[in-house]
Amino acid sequence: MTDPVFFAPSGRLTLAEVAHIAGGEVVRGDADVAIGRVAPLDQAGPGDLSFLDNPHYIAVFKQTRASIVLCSAAHVADAPEGAAVIVAQQPYRAMALVMQALFPDAFRLKGPFGEAGISAGASIHPTVRLEDGVTVEPGAVIGAGAEIGAGTVVSANAVIGRGVRVGRDGYIGASVTLQYALVGNRVIIHPGSSIGQDGFGFAMGARGHLKVPQIGRVVIQDDVEIGANVTIDRGSNRDTVIGEGTKIDNEVQIGHNVEVGRHCVLVAKVGISGSTKLGDYVVVGGYSGLAGHLTVGQGAQLAGGSMLKDDMPAGARWVGTPARPIREWTKEQMALKRAVKQATGRDET
């Protein structure tokens, strides 16, 4: 079996070029040194770039054989003698910028078929409008009246429903279903996600549960990234909205009429019930659930595995089931620990 390289570097970068891209400052190193690869500290060797962001890895950092390392000013003294050193305020972010330049194919994703242009194996309605540079792979289906902007990739077996609008330089992954939606520019939707299907709306009653027609849309603003197997329901009588720059991890469920603010982060397996509103820069940890019709204020953070049943103020940090302020939860846990110790005569850790 051959050993393929899926993301080959676009070339080599000199020390000065790396520093410029990273927005950092060279504090040590020969101007002639260059890198063509990126590697973790423990695997890096000559010709590689690596970085230190977490102090947990200082011991490995001291031993790395990378040609160039990125780190904060606080850790320059820990860098190995043989490495050129670039100081950056945020080494992880600096590394990301260099990787975008060095591996453009990993930043601007291609479809699994790997060829640009409109495949003869795609099913495209005659009324579809495609701007120049759109790629549509085999098996993709694009419905009547849909519009897709320049540079967007529609991957194999994706389904774009009638009337859908997709902006420029986006990526629609394999087997994505996208319907009743307006999608902005530079939006990435990873494989298997379903967006715009019916919300879970029923008028409950003794004679059965009457389906409520879902007549809203899904509006996804610019620079949003949506992970694999995410489900986002369209609105029932208003739009479901995903704000600019928001990042959604795999297997998240977002109910109808939900409004997610700008630059939010939703980690894997989060569930948000209908008509809940998240302000800008909200972070929701993995496996958390939010009840319906709640308001979560700007910058609030909900810890992983929590269940939220009440409105959450701006800037708050809550945890637990039901979720409550971290300080309150911590006091409760300490009180419980003391009570167990007193009742049993031993320390429960």
Please identify every residue annotated as catalytic: 256
Residue among 12, 20, 8 at smallest CA distance from 46: 12
**8 Å CB contact between 266 and 224:** no
Sign of CA dihedral 304, 310, 313, 314: positive
- The candidate with the shortest Cα–Cα distance to 241, out of 227, 262, 213, 214, is 262
Nearest to 89 by CA among 43, 154, 22: 22
- Burial of residue 334 (number of CB atoms within 10 Å: 0-12, 13-18, 19+): exposed
Phi and psi torsions of 278, nearest 5°: -110, 130
Residues 182/199, Cβ–Cβ less than 8 Å = no
**Residue 72, class by beta-carbon neighbours within 10 Å (0-12 exposed, 13-18 middle, 19+ buried)?**
middle
Classified as helix, coil or strand, 289 is strand
Residue 302 identity: L
CB atoms within 10 A of CB 62: 15
Q: What is the rounded distance in angstroms from the CA atom of residue 189 to the CA atom of residue 199?
A: 19
Q: How far apart are CA 137 and CA 158, in angstroms?
A: 9
* 218 Cβ contact partners less than 8 Å away, ≥ 6 residues apart: 180, 181, 182, 195, 196, 232, 233, 234, 235, 239, 240, 241, 242
